[in-house]
Structure 1
Amino acid sequence: MRDRKWSRRDLLVAGTASAAGMMFAAPSKAAAPPPTAVTSAMVEAAKKEGKLSFYSALELNTAERLARTFEAKYPGITVRVERSGAERIFQRIAQEQGSGINAVDVANSTDPAHYLEWKKNGWLAPYLPDDVAKHFPADQVDPDGMYATSCAWLEAIGYNTNLVKREDAPKSYADLLDPKWQGKIVKAHPGYSGAILTTTFVLARDLGWPYLEKLARQKVMQVQSAADPPKKILLGERAVMADGNDYNLVLLKDQGKPVEVVYPTEGSPLIIVPSGVFRGAPNPNAARLFQSFFFSAETQQMLVDVFAHRSFHAHVKEKGEHVPLANLKLLKADPAAVQAQSEEIKARYSKIFGV
């Protein structure tokens, strides 16, 4: 069982057993839970538990910074970070929950479709931090209070400015098909990264699978995480990235590195990163305290200032080097559609790119 890879189809079976038939239940019509403020009683209860497990698809340095900042704010509570790609986290939680193992307290994923599965299974606990209720737009909050968007970013094109002149750089996805880029492109894989799964979904939807078939003929270097393409162009291993997190390039450019971000003329895939508390959390009070901390204005501003992520918190200021979301054409995905097509997308992509 430990080495088994779980697909969404496997999860349906496991969910039926572990959630006592809740897998195919209709979405809850119950009202969302009342907003919860952090109180001294909550903090004391969390300190008695003394620990929590945070499963995260954020980059390791980001997840660790969140953990260490929380520990400094609430001494006596230790955060164990379990970091991996979103699809790996999904498989791990499916295996644990399907085997009756309650190990995860809080999870965040770059694939919002995961929360549809976890909610349908009855694996998430309703919890609505005060900040979420007061300062986040309704479309970034589950109506039943099971999860909310902890941060966001865009998938973008990018290039190494030492290898590519600004006037020659690709400005669109269509430009990546120019023969001059053959053997010079890097991109990430939807089988590992939830962000790239969403990106692949919107590109296949808006540009068509024939576009991806043509891109594959460009002798593309294939990597795993959405954080990997920016690193490859920084090192000069490839001149251009076809996808990758925009925040990596913004941070590198801030450091004077020779990279540039391009928001394609066709639009940029918007990646939202939800977070939720698990119903079977072994440390429920610490889990709720961490969720409230995650969505606080202070933490949200840190994610923007230090890691160049985007926040939907009304009191958080955008990073100055970022092109405002309002000025960009955004390609948004329907998580339910991604959920329904996930296995097909990954299989078709692997066949086209030969990986």
Structure 2
Amino acid sequence: MSCSSRPFRTSPAGRKGRLLPYKPAGFSKVYDKFKDPQGAWVATGALAFSFLYSTATVGSGIRLTPRDLVDPTWKGKIASSYPHDDDAVLYLYTLYVQKYGWDWVAELAAQDVQFARGSNSPGDAVFGGQKAIGVGTAGSAVPSTSSPVRFVVDDGVPFMSWGQRTAILKQAKNTTAAKLFLNWQLSTEMQDGSWNGWSVRTDISPPTGLKKIWEYPNGNLDGFPRFMADRAAVERWKQTFALYFGEVKGDPTPGSLGLHPGA
């Protein structure tokens, strides 16, 4: 089985016959854009990247937007994953550029931002009390009075969302186990218990206060696959952000790296 941290680019492996078509139980209930019609892949989780902030430090009644991050008040108090090290974070930053312009990027670069590899790092810094704001990380927007942070998906604020795609390789050692895994992942029990409140299934409603992930026009759900498909443009974006934020430094994202060149 193959699990990617970014969506397969127009299913090239599926077109070349490398993926095993399979439609697990609940496949018909999966949002149409979260599945290949022939079953070459299916999204098993709905995710979003945005920014979050500590309500204790910023204030529970304060509503920050990305534009506010360049306010001198937050200098030295922001953590971010490198946009030129992670394609999902890169796409989020391109949305910010389109909304706020390159001058905003230049001002952010002067904010003494703590950049690190790994989209987990901004959240770790905020939850750990080291920084007030984290940019380029996943989070839960489920309304809560007890959470120490607020993950922003407000109307008018750009963020990026996608369906985490899963597929079975035809040459996998145990396709039966992979099929069982897909059925488990798409079960109502698993989807209804999503940590961020969102499901890939159309028959499961999010908690009160949230919309289904595809109902957020500012979530840019359709844009990420298109962005990923143009690799030349992706590289240009990466190199441009490197000019503003410097070259990527530090250890790779924590955890298993999986297959990579030279493995």
- Fold match (TM-score > 0.5): yes
Partner of 2:74: 181
Is 1:240 the counterpart of 2:240 in the alignment? no
**2:126 is equivalent to residue 126 of structure 1:** no
Structure 1 residue 250 displacement after superposition: 5.1
Q: Given residue 220 of structure 2, which amino acid in structure 1 is its aligned partner?
A: L
SS at match of 2:151: strand
- Structure 1, unaligned stretches of length 5 or more? 1-105
Distance 1:238 1:122, change over 3 A: same
Q: 1:231 aligns with which of 124, 129, 139?
A: 124
- Post-superposition offset of 1:207: 4.1
Q: How many residues align?
A: 241
In structure 1, the residue matched to 2:242 is 350
Identify if the C-alpha distance between structure 1 residues 280 and 347 changes in structure 2 by more than 3 Å, giving closer, same or farther: farther
Partner residue, 1:158: 52
Q: Who is 2:185 aligned against?
A: 294
Specify the alignment match of 2:227 in structure 1.
337
Query: Does the 8 A contact of 2:70 with 2:107 survive in 1?
Result: yes
For residues 221 and 165 of structure 1, what CA distance do their matches in structure 2 show? Answer: 21
TM-score of the pair, normalised by structure 1: 0.60
- Larger helix fraction of residues: 1
For the residue of structure 2 that corresponds to 1:162, the secondary structure is helix
CA contact (8 A) 1:111 1:198 kept: no
User: In the TM superposition, what are the counterparts of 1:253-272 in structure 2 within 5 Å?
Assistant: 256-264=146-154, 265-272=156-163
Which residue, 208, 211, 231 being the options, matches 1:324?
A: 211
3-state SS of the aligned residue for 2:177? helix
Identity, % of aligned positions = 22
Render the CA deviation track for 1:84-119: whole Å, top value 9, x for unaligned: xxxxxxxxxxxxxxxxxxxxxx22223114563433
Distance 1:115 1:209 in 2: 30
Tell whether the 8 Å contact from 2:50 to 2:152 is kept in structure 1 after alignment. yes
Q: Which has the higher contact order (CA 8 A, sep 6+)?
A: 2
Q: Counterparts of 1:116 and 1:207 in 2: how far apart (Å)?
A: 33
Give TM-score scaled by structure 2 length: 0.78
- Whole-angstrom CA distance in 1 between matches of 2:34 and 2:25: 14
- Say whether the 8 Å CA contact 2:142–2:207 is kept in structure 1: no
2:11 counterpart (81, 92, 116): 116
Match among 173, 177, 184 for residue 282 of structure 1: 173
332-341 vs 217-226, greater mean Cα deviation: 332-341
Say if 2:101 is the partner of 1:213.
no
Q: Alpha-carbon deviation of 1:277?
A: 0.9
Match of 1:135 in 2: 29
What residue number does 1:12 align with?
none
3-state SS of 1:218 partner: coil
CA deviation map 1:262-308 (0-9, x unaligned): 22533321132111111221212222222222222222223x1xx22
Q: For the Cα contact (< 8 Å) 1:124–1:276, is it kept in 2?
A: yes
**Structure 2 segments unaligned to the other structure (5+ residues):** 249-263
Give the secondary-structure state (helix, strand or coil) at the position aligned to 1:226.
coil
